[in-house]
Structure 1
């Protein structure tokens, strides 16, 4: 394939790195696609299916709700079934959206000719970060650390019957618990850490691209100088948001089921979580705010200056002279009316994240919490809270 000097390599954020190569060798990924359904099934089977089988053998898969058997443990469902499955499925959606965003930046002729090479280098730099072995090793080490902390906590006592084996007067961790800590929990945190690292890569790429010379125009119909498509990227993270929100809401679910949570406490947690989600997706776009603010300021000033000349020209044609600072008989070309351009420039928004973009992500973030609340808390009290948070 001939390297196009005006286009970078496809920005495939979900590929590259040791973990991707391992999946290739295991033939979990074949061809050009990511094979998300098969991979999700394999990882969920390892993380959730194996502890289920071990719990069935031990007789702790079902039982009273208060004992938290495996199949009634919201934490196990959230981390090992829902989150791991959705994190794998989300990779394809995220990759396709980010790839199209980068492609549109080049195909939309938004970069000056001298910036094309720099932009291509920025994409190549991002792909090298994606392929980093040390980065994924750090993700693995942090995942092992999280599992180590969980192991110490569980050895001090766990409220889940499936995670405990009773021997005479003593208790110890069950085989299902050991597998969940060593394999399932480590896999979950590794996938989360890897996803976070790749979001940082995307953020750094946006920062590098925002520093280049562009061909933006304040009157662009998207209301963002031509960069409106970049602000839509959070919509690609709906599955990712549901996955992470589900894990957090699982802890809330346990408290709700035991009647220790009120609507006000739940609404506070949902509000704080929503603010964190907004920051997570909004911070990478801050680098474009100054660029678009400067564009708006300069465009309004240029349009206002041109408007003065247009109106003075019209005044001379109408009155035969300028009422103030008459310039006499001036021969000049016809000046177009800049009024429409001025009005369009006034509407330019430096904020690339809009309400329309945030509503799907907000709904994804709040859905698991709402599901937890509806199990025990009054529906009439929860619905106004959800409306308030979604309409912000």
Structure 2
């Protein structure tokens, strides 16, 4: 960066999605309109392109459901359908959530005073750096390389469980297998890898902002130094978390129904997935923890000294009954009586060391756990479960 260089980044237009190489490619070929992002249209289009030809090929061959010689029909591959009809649309629609929420929380750093006039040039430089990083082609070259490698690996293992519904001797089924390997999986993979890169960008953005001299308010009622508005951040990648969990839960469901894998044997994998997805969701917000912990430690010392001085003057005046002159501290309306002073200290003491709240945990854990709970529920006898629930409630 050149010293003295000024930046004028409008937080309302800041984005981790818009105008990256993949976005520009989609706009160039007409998938994204000139005005707007066309998220709903693209979500529907990608889902149909990925799923409908598979269903048509399988229907023509008569292997959509159980048939002679086909032990695992296409409908039995729950992971494929979840990938096409749930994960792909969610990953596209998540772009709209990102476009809406990222500018909002970026703007709040200025509106709340966390970024003052003195820090504004540094803040704008951070935004400009992230936009330049977003526009680089190298990450997308890496994504393309991973995609090619991933696809080639499937060709080296043609008897993959996911294409057992396709028979290489039948042209129609061969078409379905080729479509799955060359279209369906790449669409999902590129959207998934794109969101992994955007999560990295988001983490870098928050880490760079956390390194700025933020004007934290240690007594803020959000108990996060004024950073409570970051509770909207998990909304950006909740669809990503739900997509990953749903696809894996769908693949496990296929193993349960067609390979006699007991659900309890998957509990360790489910818990591991839940822990990993929760860690991924919390990681960007943990960038502010060092600054919050430092601010809390220093505030406890400072407010402890203030409370001690205030308490000593109260004791000298009313207990020791010393002839002390009027004290500005005792008469200060912002400090108030002793009870108010103690409330100030308690407010500082209750400050959290991380931007983590119940609301944030719900936005992360719920989408990660919901598909897993559905899978576990498939092993519960519905009638007895409802009876036990009704008996418990009554």
User: SS at 2:19's partner residue?
Assistant: coil
User: SS at 2:118's partner residue?
Assistant: helix
The equivalent residue for 1:21 is 24
Shift of 1:245: 1.0
Shift of 1:259: 6.2
User: SS at 1:163's partner residue?
Assistant: coil
The equivalent residue for 1:123 is 127
Q: Output the CA distance in 1 between the equivalents of 2:290 and 2:44.
A: 44
User: SS at 1:162's partner residue?
Assistant: coil
Q: In the alignment, is the contact (CA less than 8 A) between 2:61 and 2:173 conserved in 1?
A: no
Matches for 1:98-113 after TM superposition, within 5 Å: 98-113=102-117
The equivalent residue for 2:55 is 52
Shift of 1:349: 0.4
The equivalent residue for 2:241 is 241
The equivalent residue for 2:229 is 229
TM normalised by structure 1 equals 0.86
The answer as to 2:30 corresponding to 1:61 is no
The CA deviation string for residues 233-254 of structure 1, in whole angstroms up to 9 with x for no partner, is 1133332222111111122101
User: SS at 2:168's partner residue?
Assistant: strand
Q: In the alignment, is the contact (CA less than 8 A) between 1:83 and 1:246 conserved in 2?
A: yes
5+ long unaligned stretches in structure 2: 1-5, 387-394
The equivalent residue for 1:90 is 94
Q: In the alignment, is the contact (CA less than 8 A) between 1:262 and 1:377 conserved in 2?
A: no
The CA deviation string for residues 72-94 of structure 1, in whole angstroms up to 9 with x for no partner, is 32122022232111111111113
The equivalent residue for 2:329 is 334
Shift of 1:366: 1.9
- Find runs of 4+ consecutive structure 1 residues off by over 6 angstroms: 380-383
The equivalent residue for 1:388 is none
TM normalised by structure 2 equals 0.86
Q: Output the CA distance in 2 between the equivalents of 1:157 and 1:102.
A: 45
The CA deviation string for residues 71-130 of structure 1, in whole angstroms up to 9 with x for no partner, is 332122022232111111111113312221111112221113221111111111111121
User: SS at 2:52's partner residue?
Assistant: helix
User: SS at 2:119's partner residue?
Assistant: helix
The equivalent residue for 1:72 is 76
The answer as to 2:364 corresponding to 1:369 is no
Structure 1 residues 347 and 149, CA, compared in 2 at 3 Å: closer, same or farther? Answer: same
The number of residues matched between the two structures is 372
Matches for 1:264-303 after TM superposition, within 5 Å: 264-303=264-303
Q: Output the CA distance in 1 between the equivalents of 2:383 and 2:65.
A: 32
Q: Output the CA distance in 2 between the equivalents of 1:381 and 1:268.
A: 26
Q: In the alignment, is the contact (CA less than 8 A) between 1:257 and 1:375 conserved in 2?
A: no
Q: Output the CA distance in 1 between the equivalents of 2:283 and 2:385.
A: 29
The CA deviation string for residues 165-208 of structure 1, in whole angstroms up to 9 with x for no partner, is 336xxx99711111111121112111111100011001001010
The equivalent residue for 2:182 is 182
Structure 1 residues 184 and 9, CA, compared in 2 at 3 Å: closer, same or farther? Answer: same
Q: Output the CA distance in 2 between the equivalents of 1:249 and 1:301.
A: 49
Shift of 1:5: 4.8
The equivalent residue for 1:151 is 155
The equivalent residue for 1:387 is none
Relative to structure 2, which stretch is displaced further, 311-320 or 78-87?
311-320
The CA deviation string for residues 29-83 of structure 1, in whole angstroms up to 9 with x for no partner, is 2254321111011111221122222222333333359722223321220222321
CA RMSD of aligned residues (A): 2.8
Structure 1 residues 236 and 230, CA, compared in 2 at 3 Å: closer, same or farther? Answer: same
The equivalent residue for 1:114 is 118
The equivalent residue for 2:14 is 11
Q: In the alignment, is the contact (CA less than 8 A) between 2:11 and 2:103 conserved in 1?
A: no
Q: Output the CA distance in 1 between the equivalents of 2:87 and 2:101.
A: 21
Q: In the alignment, is the contact (CA less than 8 A) between 1:263 and 1:382 conserved in 2?
A: no
The equivalent residue for 1:39 is 42
Matches for 1:211-226 after TM superposition, within 5 Å: 211-226=211-226
User: SS at 1:165's partner residue?
Assistant: coil
Structure 1 residues 319 and 73, CA, compared in 2 at 3 Å: closer, same or farther? Answer: closer
The equivalent residue for 1:348 is 351
